[in-house]
Structure 1
Amino acid sequence: MFDVAVFGSLFLTLFVIMDPPGVTPIFLGLTAGRPTAVQKRMALQAVLVAGGVIALFGLTGQHILDYLHISVPALMIAGGVLLLLVALDLLTGKTDEPQQTKDVNVALVPLGMPLLAGPGAIVSVILAVEKAGDVGAQVGVWTAILAIHVVIWLVMRNSLLVVRLIKEGGVVLVTRLSGMLLAAIAVQQIINGVTQVVQGS
């Protein structure tokens, strides 16, 4: 009733794509200056949003994309543009958005989606669900999805300890660094989407 091979394959795939260690500096940069309790809540919200989006696409993803006539490259390019806008805000140090709105936006966008639940993770889950032919494989798929989200939550929650060590100046540095990393991720995602469009035409 449990396919270990399917679990291991999808878990490793999602770990590489969602990259919990790589998300840590971006999470710290996006949540800098907020109380620890708020940061912990945002970490949980982001994971729940990502898990919800991935579960939704795992169950109905291909039907949604087909119904809306959305290609995977288009999804990648849109996600890349969204991430790039957030990265520019981090790099320029914009803080003029109301605190509560920022909390909601950061937990939902870009942390929950498209940073965690990005096109790569969504497509991987859609394919894994389609390939899982028996109950054991399906259990392996959904257990892997649950496991990776637990890992991401633990990594982001424990990363808050880093803030206590690096102090305010270090947080500013991490914020700028995360902006640069996020911009690179966004540009690469756009390039990948455009490349797939060109290759498909």
Structure 2
Amino acid sequence: MDILVYLNAITALFIIIDPIGAAIVFHSLVPAGETGHRVKMAVKSIVISTLLLIIFGNYGEPFLNKLGINIEALRISGGLLLFYTAFKMITQDVEYTVTTAKRDISVFPMSIPLMAGPGSLTLSILLFSQAENAEQNLSILLAIISITVLTLVLMLLSRYVKVIIGRTGDEILRRF
């Protein structure tokens, strides 16, 4: 395993996926008393997100090449997309309400667009396209798995994450 590639990938994925923010959103979308439902939604959304990140990372560049889109255009559009998202997060008020309804949130909004959204999918494609050998590919794969497992743990412990972070911490993380 190439530790530098792993650390680079895990840092970038942590920033884009934001496991703490995902846990806070998860906490507000799934009823607190439904432990079985919470575990099912958390595991299902993590599996979907992990598969999407790995599949897009490995096959995204060849697919985009078939469409006539090169990796440099993807870098530019990904940067613009990240800027737009960051600008929107800084300037817009977002309110999360706690729900008591039991519904399937694993695909939308948890997997797509929260964890495996345009930013993280673009990052996954870029990371895998820069890998020069199988060792670097393995490092990126392990970084994806590490971040999604961390996100799963934080989602399952979201009740405590919310208490620790608090309202002020939530506001800081959202703006940061």
TM-score by length of 2: 0.72
User: Do the aligned residues in 2 keep the contact of 1:3 with 1:140 (CA within 8 Å)?
Assistant: yes
Deviation of 1:5 (Å): 0.5
Give the letter for the 2:22 counterpart.
Answer: V
List structure 1 segments (4+ residues) > 6 angstroms apart after TM superposition.
92-95
Query: Are the structure 2 counterparts of residues 91 and 153 from structure 1 closer, same or farther at C-alpha, using a change threshold of 3 Å?
Result: closer
Which is further off, 61-70 or 37-46? 61-70
Identity, % of aligned pairs? 26
Aligned equivalent of 2:7: 8
Deviation of 1:35 (Å): 0.5
2:45 matches 1:46: yes
Q: Where does 1:110-129 land on structure 2 (aligned, <5 Å)?
A: 110-129=109-128
Query: Are the structure 2 counterparts of residues 157 and 131 from structure 1 closer, same or farther at C-alpha, using a change threshold of 3 Å?
Result: same
For residue 43 of structure 1, give the secondary structure of its aligned residue in structure 2.
helix
| Superposed CA offset, 1:93-133 (max 9, x none) | 888xx84xx22xx1111101110011111111111111111
Query: Are the structure 2 counterparts of residues 135 and 30 from structure 1 closer, same or farther at C-alpha, using a change threshold of 3 Å?
Result: same
| Superposed CA offset, 1:44-69 (max 9, x none) | 11111110110110111123345457
Distance 1:34 1:67 in 2: 48
Q: Where does 1:37-186 land on structure 2 (aligned, <5 Å)?
A: 37-67=36-66, 73=77, 76=81, 99=102, 102-103=103-104, 106-161=105-160
Query: Are the structure 2 counterparts of residues 113 and 19 from structure 1 closer, same or farther at C-alpha, using a change threshold of 3 Å?
Result: same
Q: CA RMSD in A?
A: 3.7
Structure 1: give runs of 5+ residues left out of the alignment.
Answer: 81-89, 166-173, 186-201
Query: Are the structure 2 counterparts of residues 94 and 59 from structure 1 closer, same or farther at C-alpha, using a change threshold of 3 Å?
Result: same
For residue 157 of structure 2, give the secondary structure of its aligned residue in structure 1.
helix
Deviation of 1:34 (Å): 5.4
Give the letter for the 2:134 counterpart.
Answer: V
User: Do the aligned residues in 2 keep the contact of 1:43 with 1:153 (CA within 8 Å)?
Assistant: yes
Aligned equivalent of 2:16: 17
For residue 153 of structure 1, give the secondary structure of its aligned residue in structure 2.
helix
Aligned equivalent of 2:30: 31
Deviation of 1:141 (Å): 1.1
TM-score by length of 1: 0.64
Q: Where does 1:181-196 land on structure 2 (aligned, <5 Å)?
A: none
Deviation of 1:140 (Å): 0.9
User: Do the aligned residues in 1 keep the contact of 2:25 with 2:96 (CA within 8 Å)?
Assistant: no
Distance 1:157 1:94 in 2: 17
